[in-house]
Structure 1
Amino acid sequence: MSLDAVLNRIDADLQTSIDRLMELLRIPSISTDPAYDTQVSQAADWLVADLKSIGIAAEKRETTGHPMVVGHVGEDNDTPHILFYGHYDVQPVDPLDQWNRDPFDPAIEDTENGPVIRGRGSSDDKGQLMTFVEACRAWKVVHGALPCRITFFFEGEEESGSPSLVPFLRENAAELKADLALVCDTSMVSRGVPSIASQLRGMLKDEFTIIGPRIDLHSGHYGGPGLNPLRELSKIVASFYDDETGRVAVEGFYDGVHEVPAEQLRQWQGCGFDEADYLSSVGYTQPHGEKEYSTLEQQWARPTLEVNGLWGGYNGAGSKTVIPSQAHCKITCRLVGDMDPDALRDKIRAHVQQNLSPDAKVEWDNDLEGAPASGMNLDRPEFEAARGALSDEWGREAVFTGMGGSIPVVGYFNTELGLDSMLVGFANDDDAIHSPNEKYDVKSFHKGIRSWARILDALTT
């Protein structure tokens, strides 16, 4: 079979595939720090050269920020046209003293779970990106051509907020449109459990200030009759929640929230997720969200309102006996289903206003944005085809999972290009992405390459 020959080539070439990844990992492409602008551009050049080495017409495209890498291969015929997305920029390495080795001197290390590739970007996202490139390389070596038309799209600003992404998508929409986007920037729900993310939570950010007296007050002169903004803020924060049920108590908060279909719940219940380990790894003894939902449902399919910061008054050494003039609060909400971020913002602000005491005023930061949740179109046959391919490779049923976080590019592909996305990743929860000692399991890299080869075969036969 043609697929068997590709898989055999992947196995035979694993070491050279690792060597290529190591080259890319040695380039400190930190997009958030202008001091590394040259190195970010160097990483883009490396990818262009690597794509060209397997016959892909690739270019580095300049933007107002860091460059994009775009490559095309295949003819406009009856085969599917796939857009593959990854990002080649990485997070800063601070705190450097917590790394066990130079973050940009990657190496293979042995661990209790097998060998890992240690280095910044190994999991997020260079290692994941290269799983697809290496699958394409093996396919090209064996068959002389790839099985379908593919557009490669690599971003250099994902870790710094993607400021150039939407303008680039709009300016190049005709070139980038495809039948389906594949995104490899996610993880497996449990070690060895292949996963396709079926939904991403959206995000709403807001910030407000409670204002009481026009100046800070002496707590001896005004303590008692004076309204204290910190106390007022504490009351409002407490009013956000129903402690008995764990639900958010803002009126209309759950508008647009849907229950998880029974088949997805079945997959989640059998996916190998260890709730006790998940909780105990960060010092919890029990979940603290909505009591009628499992931990996975709370993480993937339920909305949240979280307080991210509270401050006000005197925070220096010793004591200062004042009633502060102002108190401040930052909040974020994770959105699911059809929740409307703009409508939800209005509901939260109305809730705060309704709970204000006389003589208290509230001011809001109006420069913060929101984004709705993203749901994958599981009715498309490609999703079951890919799930079958992953199941075959990993020797167990692949699952459609949720994700607690957000990947904005998926929403942008939909709004700007009209593209559905399929999210397949091979990272593990212990990969320490964004943290010191980031790693990527060699097994994830190897079987990730094989998985993409199987998916390409499943999508084109």
Structure 2
Amino acid sequence: MSGTSQLQAIVDHIDADFDNSLNRLFALLRIKSISADPAFAGDCKAAADHLAADIATLKFSAEVRPTAGHPAIVAKSNGNTGSRPHVLFYGHYDVQPVDPLNLWHRPPFEPVVTSHADGRKIIVARGAEDDKGQLMTFVEACRAWMSVTGSLPLDVTILIEGEEEVGSKNFVPFLEQNKKDLAADFALVCDTGMWDPDTPAITTSLRGLVYEEVVIKAANRDLHSGLFGGGAQNPIRVLTRILGGLHDDDGRITIPGFYDGVKDLPSDIRAQWAQLDLTPDRFLKPIGLSIPAGEKDRLLIEQVVSRPTCDINGIVGGYTGEGSKTVIPAQASAKISFRLVEGQEPKKIRDAFRAFVKERVPADCSVEFLDHAGAPAIALDWNMKPLAAAKQALTDEWNKEALLIGCGASIPIVADFKTSLGLDTVLVGFGLEDDNIHSPNEKYDLKSFHKGIRSWARILAALAEAPR
């Protein structure tokens, strides 16, 4: 059987077996694997056991391995020789809590296929998209290859964790402890999305993160504004003046050295993004806005996915209860997040921000800093050979050119793979903006699940043939 006819037989099998694929997904979705709540620890273990048993039926050696928290799954395809390309596929079986439960239209762990308001068929359940439906697209693609050919076209290790939704706090030590066992040529992650319901995409960059909390203190107690107003420093006024100076009138961040190392997009990629026509009317109007707030000389799509940002996430200080209280507070605080891009170092940005604040704090005030999170930005080599292979496979399946697109958010595990395992990651996902992940009535388009399986079947074939 030629490669073309073999692949056609595999996608035909996916179509014929799709109802069974859906039933297998539903069995996983029924497990209440909420990692944040200790009451569901047994359910998390049940989800790990369930997945390991399912993957083992594909002639994988599948093990549920303990971590300091919820268990992980490591599964290796039989016949790994080292002579073929070897991929490490990552997903997570844990899900977000379902609160507020009263906003769900039906029980969140009773999956169902129903119709969206626009007529699309959708799967509704907690975890339908994030990440059970996504990871099962890959598992089902492997199943189709095994059913039709009896083997996979390349070596595969499947790694599934149970703490992604709580920050993967025990996962990096697990990677370090199992480094030799997780060796591969590169990683695959299915926890991202498409450009729209008909346009596939590969995420080529992820913004990093620095999250800071700054506390300005002045007097040793709250003061009566009638007695001390005009004479005593007001930490809210100090803090808001500093925060107001973080951006100039053109939307640029004013911290010295903030843009050091930041590169412009390749001209051909910028031209492709411009053709996507992400307008304020399309992107901002649905949320009640109309004017882009980022750097004025940048496309809106650049502002939200490929340029660094600074956002004030919250301010606390003084009296905020009902009625009035004429008080000058003793302290005020704010939480600030920075989304970083390739070329920016989290520690350098944190240090520069703190220096910026300290230089503007009056002598009669003090400042404290609390750091909450940090992760470097990730950017793939645009000429990475597996990237080109996956892009062509997606284009073939969807009959529309797959986009190489940046993501404005952070996926820390991608940086962990690079740091701990030395692996670059190809990020392919089939989620959509309206999937309500982390919210009530989470859904996954039936088309995303079906064509996601077909897409991975094609990607596996393409990666097997791609130069190493």
The TM tier, using the shorter chain, reads over 0.9
1:211 and 2:192 are equivalent in the alignment:
no
Displacement after TM superposition at 1:286 (Å): 1.8
How much has 1:357 moved relative to structure 2?
A: 2.5
Residue in 2 that maps onto 1:124: 130
Do structure 1's residue 241 and structure 2's residue 239 form an aligned pair? no
Q: Which structure 2 residues correspond to residues 38-77 of structure 1 after superposition, within 5 A?
A: 38-73=42-77, 74-77=79-82
Q: Paired residue for 2:312, among 301, 307, 313?
A: 307
Residues of 2 paired with 1:183 and 1:361: CA distance? 45
1:161 aligns with 2:167: yes
Q: Which amino acid aligns with 2:113?
A: I
Q: In 2, distance between residues paired with 1:272 and 1:459?
A: 31
Partners of 1:190 and 1:234 lie apart in 2 by 39
Asked whether the 8 Å contact 1:30–1:36 carries over to 2, the reply is yes
Identify if the C-alpha distance between structure 1 residues 75 and 272 changes in structure 2 by more than 3 Å, giving closer, same or farther: farther
Q: Is 1:5 aligned to 2:2, yes or no? A: no
Q: Within 1, Cα distance between the matches of 2:372 and 2:110?
A: 38
- How many angstroms apart in 1 are the aligned matches of 2:421 and 2:82? 20
Structure 2 match to 1:138: 144
Which residues in structure 2 correspond to 1:219-368 (within 5 Å)? 219-242=225-248, 244-271=249-276, 273=278, 275-365=280-370, 367-368=371-372
2: CA distance, partners of 1:392 / 1:22: 28
CA shift, 1:150, in A, is 0.3
Q: Is the 8 A contact 1:121 1:438 kept in 2?
A: yes
| Structure 2 counterpart of 1:434, from 412, 433, 438 | 438
Mapped partners of 1:119, 1:60: distance in 2:
25
Amino acid across the alignment from 1:45: D
1:273 to partner: Cα distance:
4.3
Deviation at residue 264 of structure 1 after TM alignment? 1.5
- 1:403 matched to which residue of 2? 407
Would you say the 8 A contact 2:68–2:170 is kept in 1? yes
Give, in whole Å, the separation in 2 of the partners of 1:225 and 1:355: 19
CA distance in 1 between counterparts of 2:421 and 2:300 reads 34
Bigger mean CA offset, 131-140 vs 68-77 = 68-77
Indicate the residue corresponding to 2:452 in structure 1. 448
1:388 — aligned with what? Answer: 392
- Compare 312-321 and 438-447 and name the one that shifted more: 312-321
User: Scaled by the length of structure 1, what TM-score is found?
Assistant: 0.98
Helix, strand or coil for the counterpart of 1:4? helix
CA distance in 2, matches of 1:44, 1:370: 29
Q: Provide the TM-score with structure 2 as the length reference.
A: 0.96
- List gaps (5 residues or longer) in structure 2: none
Answer whether contact 1:190 1:272 (CA < 8 A) is retained.
no
The alignment's C-alpha RMSD in Å is: 1.1
Q: Aligned runs of 1:87-98 on 2, under 5 Å? A: 87-98=92-103
Residue 110 (1) aligns with residue 115 (2) = yes
The letter for the 2-side match of 1:225 is G
Distance in 1, Cα, partners of 2:278 & 2:223: 52
Give secondary structure in 1 for the equivalent of 2:180: helix
Q: Identity rate of aligned residues, in percent?
A: 50
Could you tell me whether the CA contact under 8 Å between 1:190 and 1:273 is conserved in 2? Answer: no
The alpha carbon displacement at 1:382 in A equals 1.1
CA contact (8 A) 1:313 1:326 kept: yes
Contact 1:271 1:399 in 2 (8 A): no
- Matches of 1:129 and 1:275, distance apart in 2: 33
**1:95, 1:269 → 2: CA distance?**
39
Gaps of 5+ in 1: none
Contact 1:29 1:37 in 2 (8 A): yes
Query: Are the equivalent residues in 1 in contact too, given 2:280–2:290 (CA < 8 A)?
Result: no
Q: Is the 8 A contact 2:279 2:300 kept in 1?
A: no
How much does 1:272 deviate? Answer: 6.4
CA contact (8 A) 2:278 2:300 kept: no
